[in-house]
């Protein structure tokens, strides 16, 4: 299990092993051309685990976290291709070959909270009235007659939270269903076919407990907010279209205006709980550092410069928080990228803080628990 260590003043970011040691461990590796394997990621060799990140298991409020349901085909009311969990964001330092001096990019803040997915997607609904729907999950499959229609499905990073789609779901990691609160806020404002991805930050509602220790993002105790950072839409033909990050931002602003009108009528505070994504830079990558030569080692030098870029708050305290905690990092997107990928770059101070908390078991991070 890999722990983060300081080696000659530099924080280690991985596990080092000689090819000869791997060959002694697994004879099938003898004769492998290791030069060809440069850049490949793996944690398993010949079906045997070699290495994994060190993340201590958290016992309290752990119900529901261990039952990640990434295999949506096991849910007989879900239609394949309609609802998707958020993909794992690629690490920028492993993806610099995707970037060139003339690459047009958008850089945004990476906030430290808990993931939420809310989609108005096509599902299989009980065919008959409310009484049949009430007993639907208890009927044998041969008597579960359905029709296709749209419904709001919501989840954490890997667990569907609707009880009518996931009967065994619990309140979850925090002992309270923070995701249901935003489902109730947004369920009437998400168009058919759209799925919204966000990050909930701050405190648990009505509690002094923080979603991520120290990371208040300007919220008072008992308050929280949701930042929307990704949107996709599935059309009638089942084709999914991803929004550009600027379109995500504009949709969020429009949504906030709609919620303000709703708040006036219903005496609620929904609009104040939604926040747009935080932009840091938009433009050509070489213009960000005109003094860095594009002739040699440009990718490596740009990466090293981004790691400590004070204009982006890298290796600084998070300015969006009242508490003194390190910024988690940044997210870089390629404008016009048909794949709409996002690449994350985390601060060493953040990773070091995270590692220290993991070593002492003093962590309450659902993202790590669900990921590992």
152-172 pLDDT, tens digit each? 999 998 888 987 778 777 665
Determine which helix (DSSP H) or strand (DSSP E) holds 104, and give its type and residue range.
strand 104-110
Mean pLDDT of all residues in 94-122:
95
Give 283's strand partners. Answer: 105
Residue 73 CB coordination number (10 Å): 7
Q: pLDDT class for 321, splitting at 50, 70, 90?
A: very high
> In this model, does residue 78 exceed pLDDT 70?
yes
Output the six-digit token pair for 79. 């239609």
Confidence band of 58 (pLDDT split at 50, 70, 90): low
Question: Which pTM was predicted?
Answer: 0.86
> What pLDDT band is residue 55 in, cutting at 50, 70 and 90?
confident
Place 332 in a pLDDT band, splitting at 50, 70 and 90. very high
Query: 65 pLDDT exceeds 90?
Result: no
How high does pLDDT run on average in the chain? 88
State the pLDDT confidence band at 280, using cuts at 50, 70 and 90.
very high
Q: Could you give phi then psi for residue 356, rounded to 5 degrees?
A: -60, -40
pLDDT digits (tens, 9 = 90+) for 128-142: 888 888 888 788 888
Residue with tokens 């690629």: 90
Highest mean pLDDT among 189-193, 356-360, 368-372: 189-193
239/241 Cα distance (integer angstroms): 7
Q: Which residues pair with 200 in a beta bridge?
A: 114, 226
* pLDDT score of 28: 93
pLDDT given for residue 290 in this prediction: 95
pLDDT digits (tens, 9 = 90+) for 17-53: 899 999 999 999 999 999 998 878 888 999 999 988 7
pLDDT tens-place string over residues 178-187: 999 999 999 9
Q: Based on the number of CB atoms within 10 Å of its own CB, is 189 exposed (0-12), middle (13-18) or buried (19 or more)?
A: middle
The answer on pLDDT for 67 being more than 70 is: no
Q: Indicate whether 361 pLDDT > 90.
A: no
- pLDDT tier for residue 71 given thresholds of 50, 70 and 90: low
pLDDT of residue 360: 77
Residue 64: what pLDDT? 41
> What is the Cα–Cα distance from 180 to 191, expressed in whole angstroms?
18
Torsion of Cα atoms, 20 then 25 then 28 then 33, to 10°: -20
Q: Each residue of 88-106: pLDDT tens digit?
A: 788 999 899 999 999 999 9
More confident: 258 or 164: 258
Res 62 pLDDT > 60:
no
Q: What is Dmax (Cα atoms) for the chain?
A: 72
């Amino acid at each position: 299990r890999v722990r983060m260590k300081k080696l000659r003043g530099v924080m280690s970011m991985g596990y080092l092993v000689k090819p000869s040691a791997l060959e002694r461990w697994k004879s099938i590796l003898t004769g492998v051309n290791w030069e060809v394997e440069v850049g490949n990621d793996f944690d398993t060799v010949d079906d045997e685990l070699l290495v994994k990140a060190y993340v201590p298991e958290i016992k309290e409020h752990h119900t529901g976290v261990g039952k990640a349901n990434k295999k949506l085909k096991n849910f007989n009311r879900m239609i394949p291709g309609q609802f998707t969990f958020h993909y794992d964001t690629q690490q920028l330092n492993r993806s610099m070959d995707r970037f060139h001096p003339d690459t047009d990019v958008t850089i945004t803040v990476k906030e430290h909270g808990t993931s939420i997915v809310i989609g108005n997607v096509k599902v299989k609904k009980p065919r008959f009235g409310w009484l049949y729907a009430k007993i639907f999950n208890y009927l044998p499959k041969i008597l579960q007659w359905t029709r296709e229609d749209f419904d709001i499905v919501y989840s954490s990073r890997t667990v569907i939270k609707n009880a009518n789609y996931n009967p065994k779901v619990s309140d979850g990691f925090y002992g309270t269903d923070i995701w249901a609160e935003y489902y109730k806020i947004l369920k009437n404002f998400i168009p058919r076919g759209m799925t919204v991805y966000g990050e909930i930050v701050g405190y648990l509602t009505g509690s002094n407990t923080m979603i991520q220790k120290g990371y208040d993002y300007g919220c008072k105790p008992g308050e929280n907010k949701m930042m929307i950072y990704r949107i996709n839409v599935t059309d009638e033909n089942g084709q999914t279209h991803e929004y550009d990050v600027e379109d995500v931002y504009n949709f969020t602003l429009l949504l906030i205006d709609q919620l303000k009108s709703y708040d006036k009528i219903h005496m609620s505070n929904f609009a104040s709980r939604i926040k747009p994504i935080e932009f840091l830079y938009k433009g050509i990558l070489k213009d960000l550092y005109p003094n860095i030569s594009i002739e040699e080692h440009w990718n490596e030098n740009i990466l090293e410069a981004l790691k400590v870029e004070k204009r982006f708050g890298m290796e600084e305290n998070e300015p969006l928080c009242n508490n003194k905690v390190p910024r988690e990092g940044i997210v870089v997107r390629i404008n016009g990228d048909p794949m709409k990928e996002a690449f994350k770059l985390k601060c060493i101070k953040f990773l070091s803080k995270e590692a220290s908390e993991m070593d002492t078991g003093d962590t309450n991070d659902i993202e790590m628990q669900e990921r590992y």
